[in-house]
Structure 1
C-alpha cells in the first residue's frame, strides 16, 4: 500500500505556486476565533471559528484499531509500516456499501494524465463503494483558474476538491457561499455512520470549519516539514563527501563537488530548504508570529529572511547551481536522478517515487534526506505545518441522497492502512492493475495509468507511510520526520483557519518572483528592501493590527 496525504504524489511546485499562499485561508488544529462570521447567512467571512463554538460542530473521534504501526508516530511524524502485508488477510473497514449508486459529479485536481471515463479502475471502485461517479479531473497546475470560474458560475459539481493554496481572493469567500454545512450529517456521533471519517483526527476536522460551519472533509497531514533537502547518497558515499552541517560547509562542499566540465553541479535552487536552515517561516505558512520581544511580525520582516536569500544568491554566484535551475526551466528531479545535480529540494513523496523509478535502470541509485541544520551549525527552528490542507466539499442544495453518496465515497477513500478498501483505492484490482511479487503489490502499466486518480483527494486516514515493496524507504522517511519534528515549533498563528480580509489577498504575491530574481542576481538587495517597505505601507501594518486583534481575542497558538 502507498502512503496517504503526507507522502502523496502531488507536486510541491503546486503547493507553493505563489506566496499568496501566505495570505490564504490556512488552517490547523488549535482552538479558533469566532470573528465576523455566521453559519449560513451572507455576512462577512473574515476571521475564523473557535473554542466552544467550534467544539459543538466537530465529529466524535473514534480511532481506528485496524493495524498497529511498526514505527509509532513521534514528534508529529506519520506512523510507519515496514512489515509485509498479508494481502489475503486484509481487514474490512466498509462492511456494507453505503452508497446507493445514484449519480455523483466530482471535480478535483489531477497531476498527470487523467484516467479515461469508464476505465476499469473507476468502474470497479464504484461497484465496491456503491457510487456512480462522473469525474471532472482538472489540471492541478492550473486548478485555481478552473475552480474560480466554477465557483463564480451557477453550475457547480456535486462535490469539489478545494486545496488550501487556492483559497485566495474571491475563492475563499465563495467556499462559505457555495458549499453546504455537513454538521447535520457528521457532527458529534452522527459521524459514526462513517467509521473511517470518524477516525480522522479532530485537529484536521477543526480546520475544516469555514464560515461558522463544518464544510470540508479533510485530508490529514503530519505537521512536520514536508520539504526534504535530498542528496545523492550513493554519490556521496562513492566520493567520500560528508553531509554538510552548516551554511558555510554546504557552500564549501558545493564548490568541491561542482564540475561543469563533467556536467555535474552541486545543487538546484535551494530556497525552500534555505528557509529551514535559517529558521525562516516558509512561504507556505501563514507567516505571522510573536517573537521573544513580544512583537507580532511577518516572515519577510525578519533579518533571517534576507540572510537566507543572500545565502542562496551566493550559491548561484559561485556557479554551483545547474544552469537550467538558474534559467528556471526543466525538471530538477530529472537532473537529480541523472546525476547532474547532487542536492535538491522536493516534497516527501520523492523519496519513494524516485527510488522506485530508478530501481531497474539505475540500481545503484540511493537517495538520502539531509537533516535541517542551523545556518551557523547549530540547530534550526522549524515551524509546524498544518494538519490538513485539502478538503472535499459538497455543494449547497444537494439532495440528501447526493450528500450521503458523497460521504460514502469519502468514507471509502479514508480507509486506513491494512484494509481491503485502502488497497483498492491505492492499487485497484489485482490482475488488472497490479500483480503481487514477494508479497508486495506492484502496479502494471494499466495500473500506473488508471490508478493516478482523484479518489485519494476525497479524504484520507491519519498520516501514515508504508511501502511494502521498499520498506526501508518508509522507515527512513518516518525517522527523518521524527528527527526534524524534534526541532519544530508552533507559531502564534498555528492552528488557525483564517480568512483574511479580501483587500489583503494579493499583498504578498510579488515576493516569490522577487525572490527568484534576487537569488539569480537579477534583482538587488535594495529591491527586496523596497518591496518590504512598500508591503508595510500598502497594508502590511494594517494587516498586522488585524492579526493582533484576532490574537488578543483568541490567544496565541503556541
Structure 2
C-alpha cells in the first residue's frame, strides 16, 4: 500500500479502534500508579495497539517488541491531517546535529504537508536545554507545544502557563487520541500533578536501561569470552583486551554503573519502611570505587574517558580503540551507524555478581524521559495540538511511523532486504526533534545489520526482568530541581577524583554526608511524600 492510497477516515479510526488493533484495557484493579505529584485518579485509560504482530513479542518480559522486518504493507493509521492550517510552534531539544532549515529540507516540507499545518521546531542541544527553557519561560515566550525543562516550581509553572489536559485525556477521554492511549500507563507519571494531567509523556522504560556493549569480533580475535562470571574474570578480560601498543584500551569510559550492578547497588533510591534511602549511602560503594580505581590505574579505561563528549564513546567503540562501552539499549542504532569496520559484531555483557555467585542486576530505565505540555496561548486549539501529538505517537508498523522515522523512499532512505535504512541526506534532514516532542512506545528494530534485533531482544530478555526499578521515577521534588544539579555535579566531581586517584576512597563518606546536609535528605523526604501520596 502506497502512502497515497485510499486512507481510513478519522471517524473510522476513532470509531473502529479494534480494526486498527487497539485493545481497550480497564484500569480497574490495577491500583494507583505514581504521578508527578500523586493523583493517579486522572490517569488516562490504556488502549494497547495490536495492529502489527511482532516477530519477537516482549510483553511477557516487560520489554519492547522486536521486529526483524518492517511490515511490507504498513497500515495507514490517520487519514485526516491533524493540523488546522495554522502554524504549530514547538520547543524541544535534540541529541543530533541541527537539521537544515525548512527551505532546504525536503523532509520538513513533506512533513508539514502531511501534518496540515506549518510546523516550526525550535531546537536546542539537550545539554543546553534547561538553560534555554528557563530563558524562554522568563521572557514569556513559550511555544504552542513545549518540552518541560528542569526548572524550579514546575507545578506552579504548569498551572499558570499550560493547558490542563485532564478533561481531554483522563480515563476514556484519551481514546479520542488512540495512539496517546497506547502509551504505557507508568509513562504518564511525570505528567500528573495534584490529580491533573499537564502533558503528554515521551515513553522509554526498559530500553533506556544502561548495559555493557562489547565488540564481540575483537574479543574473539584476542581469544577471550565476554560471558564473564565474576569480577576477577572481568578484570582478566580487560587486561587481555587492552593493548597500548595498538592504542587499544578495554573501556571507552569508566563503567561506574555497571560495576555497581555487580554489587546490587539500588537504582537511585530504595525504600526502608516509609523512608527513602539514596544509593549513595549503600554499603558497597567504597568497594565499587576500589574496583574502578584499579581499572583506571591499570590503564584499562581510555585515558580521555573523563574529557570530551558522549559521542566520543561511540567513536572509540566504533573504531575498535575501546571494545567495551557502557550505554543504554536505545543507543544500539547509533553504534551501528558509527561503525568503521563492517565486520563489527555487537554483543551485550551481563554484569555478574562480584563474587561469582550469580548474575548482577541492571537498573531499569525510567518509564519516560520527559513530557510535552501545551501553552495556554494555544488553548483554543488544544484539540489540534493533541491530534498533532497523537500523529507523532503513531506506532511501529504504520505508514506514519515509517515516514516520521525514515522520510521518503529514494530520498531519505533506501530499502535493503525489505527494510528502510537512512541515507546520509535522510539522517541530516529527519532529525527535527520529533521524538523529543511525542513518540510511540520504543520498538527494537535494527535494520542496519541482520541479527542485531534478535541479539538486542535476547539481551534485554535476560537482563531487564530482574533489573532494579527506581521507586520514585518520574516523581517531583522541588528541592531536587533547585539543588539537585549542583549536588549531582559535586558528587560527580568527587566520583571522578576518587577513580583517578586524586582523592582517597575514604573521601566518599564525607562527600555523601555533605550531599545529605546540602539538600539530599530534603530531596529524600519530598520524594517519600510524593510516593506515599501516589498510593
Query: TM-score, with normalisation over the residues of structure 1?
Result: 0.82
Match of 1:31 in 2: 32
- Please give the alpha-carbon distance, in whole angstroms, between the structure 2 residues aligned to 1:323 and 1:245: 27
Match of 1:19 in 2: none
User: Judging changes above 3 Å, is the alpha-carbon distance between structure 1 residues 554 and 327 closer, same or farther for their aligned structure 2 residues?
Assistant: closer
Match of 1:130 among 116, 134, 151: 116
Match of 2:396 in 1: 417
Is 1:270 equivalent to 2:259 in the alignment? no
- Please give the alpha-carbon distance, in whole angstroms, between the structure 2 residues aligned to 1:299 and 1:201: 27
Q: 1:98-145 deviations in whole A, cap 9, x for unaligned?
A: 321211110110123222332211111121122221111112221111
User: Judging changes above 3 Å, is the alpha-carbon distance between structure 1 residues 490 and 228 closer, same or farther for their aligned structure 2 residues?
Assistant: closer
- Please give the alpha-carbon distance, in whole angstroms, between the structure 1 residues aligned to 2:522 and 2:184: 35
Tell me the matched-pair count: 497
Q: 1:55-82 deviations in whole A, cap 9, x for unaligned?
A: 2x23232221220111111322111111
- Please give the alpha-carbon distance, in whole angstroms, between the structure 2 residues aligned to 1:418 and 1:248: 45
Match of 2:406 in 1: 427
- Please give the alpha-carbon distance, in whole angstroms, between the structure 2 residues aligned to 1:170 and 1:550: 15
Q: Which moved more, 1:444-453 or 1:418-427?
A: 444-453
Once the two structures are TM-superposed, the CA of residue 261 in structure 1 deviates from its matched residue by 1.9
Once the two structures are TM-superposed, the CA of residue 335 in structure 1 deviates from its matched residue by 1.6
SS class of match (1:489): coil
Match of 1:533 among 513, 519, 526: 513
Once the two structures are TM-superposed, the CA of residue 218 in structure 1 deviates from its matched residue by 1.1
Match of 2:83 in 1: 99
Match of 2:5 in 1: none
Once the two structures are TM-superposed, the CA of residue 220 in structure 1 deviates from its matched residue by 1.6
Once the two structures are TM-superposed, the CA of residue 172 in structure 1 deviates from its matched residue by 6.5
Match of 1:317 among 297, 320, 325: 297
SS class of match (2:270): strand
SS class of match (2:108): helix
**Alpha carbons 1:172, 1:499 under 8 Å: kept:** no
Match of 1:145 in 2: 131
- Please give the alpha-carbon distance, in whole angstroms, between the structure 2 residues aligned to 1:340 and 1:322: 8
**Alpha carbons 2:372, 2:438 under 8 Å: kept:** yes
Once the two structures are TM-superposed, the CA of residue 416 in structure 1 deviates from its matched residue by 1.0
Match of 2:476 in 1: 498
> What pairs with 1:326-345 in structure 2 (closer than 5 Å)?
331-345=312-326
Once the two structures are TM-superposed, the CA of residue 33 in structure 1 deviates from its matched residue by 6.6
> What pairs with 1:341-490 in structure 2 (closer than 5 Å)?
341-358=322-339, 361-377=340-356, 378-401=358-381, 403-490=382-469
Match of 2:50 in 1: 65
Is 1:158 equivalent to 2:158 in the alignment? no
**Alpha carbons 1:131, 1:409 under 8 Å: kept:** no
Match of 2:197 among 207, 211, 214: 214
CA RMSD of aligned residues (A): 2.6
- Please give the alpha-carbon distance, in whole angstroms, between the structure 2 residues aligned to 1:550 and 1:218: 19
SS class of match (1:109): strand
- Please give the alpha-carbon distance, in whole angstroms, between the structure 1 residues aligned to 2:460 and 2:90: 33
**Alpha carbons 1:384, 1:494 under 8 Å: kept:** no
SS class of match (2:245): coil
Match of 1:308 among 264, 288, 296: 288
SS class of match (2:246): coil
- Please give the alpha-carbon distance, in whole angstroms, between the structure 1 residues aligned to 2:525 and 2:427: 50
Is 1:235 equivalent to 2:218 in the alignment? yes
User: Judging changes above 3 Å, is the alpha-carbon distance between structure 1 residues 305 and 428 closer, same or farther for their aligned structure 2 residues?
Assistant: same
Once the two structures are TM-superposed, the CA of residue 490 in structure 1 deviates from its matched residue by 3.6
Q: 1:40-63 deviations in whole A, cap 9, x for unaligned?
A: xxxxxxx7123xxx22x2323222
SS class of match (2:92): strand
Is 1:522 equivalent to 2:502 in the alignment? yes
- Please give the alpha-carbon distance, in whole angstroms, between the structure 1 residues aligned to 2:367 and 2:530: 21
Match of 1:288 in 2: 269
SS class of match (1:537): helix
Once the two structures are TM-superposed, the CA of residue 407 in structure 1 deviates from its matched residue by 1.6
**Alpha carbons 2:296, 2:499 under 8 Å: kept:** yes
- Please give the alpha-carbon distance, in whole angstroms, between the structure 2 residues aligned to 1:467 and 1:312: 32
Q: 1:333-381 deviations in whole A, cap 9, x for unaligned?
A: 21222221121112223323222433xx522111111112222222223
Query: TM-score, with normalisation over the residues of structure 2?
Result: 0.86
Match of 2:18 in 1: none
Is 1:253 equivalent to 2:227 in the alignment? no
